[in-house]
Amino acid sequence: MAEGYRRHVGLFSATMLIAGSMIGSGVYIVGADIVRSGHSGSFLLWAWVITAVMTILAALSYGELAGLFPHAGGQYAYLRETYGPMTGFLYGWTFFSVIECGTIAAVAVGFGKYVGAFVPWVSESHWLAGPFHVNALHLTRDIAVGPYDLGLTSARLTGILMILLLSFVNAYGIKLGARIQNLFTVAKIGSLAALILAGLLLSPQSAPNPAPYAPALSGTVLPMLTLLLVVQTGSLFSADAWNAITFIAGEVKEPRRTIPLSLFIGTTLVCGLYILAHVAYLKLLGPTAIATAPQDRVGSLALKAIFGPPGELVMAGAILWSMFGCQNGLVFSGARVYQAMAEDGLFLPKAATLNRHGVPGFAMGIQAIWASALTLSGSYGQLLDYVVFAALLFYVLTVGGVIVLRLRKPELERVVKVPLYPLLPILYLVGALAIMGALLVHRPAFTWPGLALVLLGLPAYFILKRSLHTSPQRELKP
């Protein structure tokens, strides 16, 4: 732990960070694409059940690692201690370049789009500078980079202002950031629960069509199991960011016990809400209405089915609140990874420093700048598509690290152990590898560019090792 971190985060705040980082806009949107792929309501629910099982299995495995290495940096530290500094750096490289900053950019622009429901001036079609169109670069028949429309829209400007505001506020200490997170997370859990209750208890204004969605078929039809694996690109990563609590381990009270417990509570709570939300959508709308929801806004359509047009505005406000809270969790947790990397000489040296409030302010500023650049580029969405496979790869390596460390270092004191070891980690690994295999075969545009982004970190790693005045490698002790 870097000297200067202050342990202010208890179990409740840790759980709210997990839940708040997980719940963004995905639960209100991605169901449309899942039904378009699998056509039926049962397919939709099975997709979310698989997501819930995978997320909770991973969280249980991370709980054991959190007990072993209760230090700032979380997953970066786990990978570094298990496989060495190069693997840790490759994760940190991908985390900074795309996973975290790309997610912050995507949430920011999504926020701007929803602000447009209340302020018409804010729109992705209202250009303030640009657009500067860049044609797609076709690397193979199935893989293309671009096209991009670079520039500044009013929606992107709104998103950038949100990034800068939250970065500024969170630079004043973990206590303030945690209080903001708690406020927004409690409210958005409440709003999601209210949507679920309304959907389950009230009747829509017109009866939904219960028949499966039947589009005009075109292209290759995949087997059902393969489809369930492929659609995890939407559902699994709508439930992502649950590992954010591990990044701020240096600021958590009794981290060896608090982090594992909060991981289990937070992921179970959110995944349960996600499944119930889609049960409510099916009751209110039916598969066809979900698949054809305007702009995929399933949550808005569900409230409209009960309350009419005012329901859409209520949902837009709830989603704005949800995204603001999600963004706060992403902004204040991610910078701790770069700070830990900088301490190891694997990031900009100044990022290792903490400000007078015990916060890695410089690292947070670099994060805000890069996330804002991705927002301006318009490339964030495709970059996130590319990194789905890479992110799964690092999850597999991390969960696999539980088994590796049990074999290599059985003498370490494990305050928390994975239940039913080694069954649960193996189940996760089998599921994740199956998803990766399905994506490699059936979604090459999602996989090979992601691997390329990871591999680009190799020359960067060796350049950093040669050019930076690295500090001695610290030993993370249990």
CA separation for the pair 292, 209 (Å, rounded): 12
Of residues 197 and 215, the one with the higher pLDDT is 197
In this predicted structure, which of 78-87, 101-110, 390-399 has the lowest mean pLDDT?
101-110
Return the closest-CA partner of residue 279 out of 446, 475, 44: 44
469, pLDDT greater than 60: no
Q: What are residue 153's DSSP bridge partners?
A: 127
Of residues 303 and 383, the one with the higher pLDDT is 303
461 contact partners, CB below 8 Å, separation of at least 6: 86, 89, 90, 93, 346
218, pLDDT greater than 60: no
What phi and psi values does residue 151 have, to the nearest 5 degrees? 135, -175
237 contact partners, CB below 8 Å, separation of at least 6: 26, 384, 388, 391
CA separation for the pair 179, 182 (Å, rounded): 5
CA separation for the pair 355, 433 (Å, rounded): 41
Band of residue 474 on the pLDDT scale cut at 50, 70, 90: very low
Mean pLDDT, range 421-446, rounded to an integer? 91
- Are 368 and 139 in contact by the 8 Å Cβ rule? The answer is no
220, pLDDT greater than 60: no
- Mean pLDDT over each residue of the chain, to the nearest integer: 88
For residue 63, the Cα-to-chain-centroid distance in whole angstroms is 18
Band of residue 142 on the pLDDT scale cut at 50, 70, 90: low
Q: What are residue 137's DSSP bridge partners?
A: 145
Note the pLDDT of residue 393: 92
Note the pLDDT of residue 431: 95
In this predicted structure, which of 188-197, 235-244, 264-273 has the lowest mean pLDDT?
235-244
Structure tokens given for 194? 């209210």
- Are 387 and 99 in contact by the 8 Å Cβ rule? The answer is yes
CA separation for the pair 422, 426 (Å, rounded): 6
390, pLDDT greater than 90: no
Return the closest-CA partner of residue 394 out of 237, 263, 188: 237
Note the pLDDT of residue 40: 92
Domains and CATH numbers, the chain: 11-467 (1.20.1740.10)
- Are 62 and 428 in contact by the 8 Å Cβ rule? The answer is no
In this prediction, what percent of the chain has a pLDDT beyond 90?
Answer: 49
Of residues 133 and 54, the one with the higher pLDDT is 54
126, pLDDT greater than 50: yes
Mean pLDDT, range 325-348, rounded to an integer? 90
Return the closest-CA partner of residue 86 out of 448, 359, 397: 397
Mean pLDDT, range 58-87, rounded to an integer? 91
- CA-based max dimension of the chain: 68
478, pLDDT greater than 70: no
Has this prediction a pTM greater than 0.85?
yes
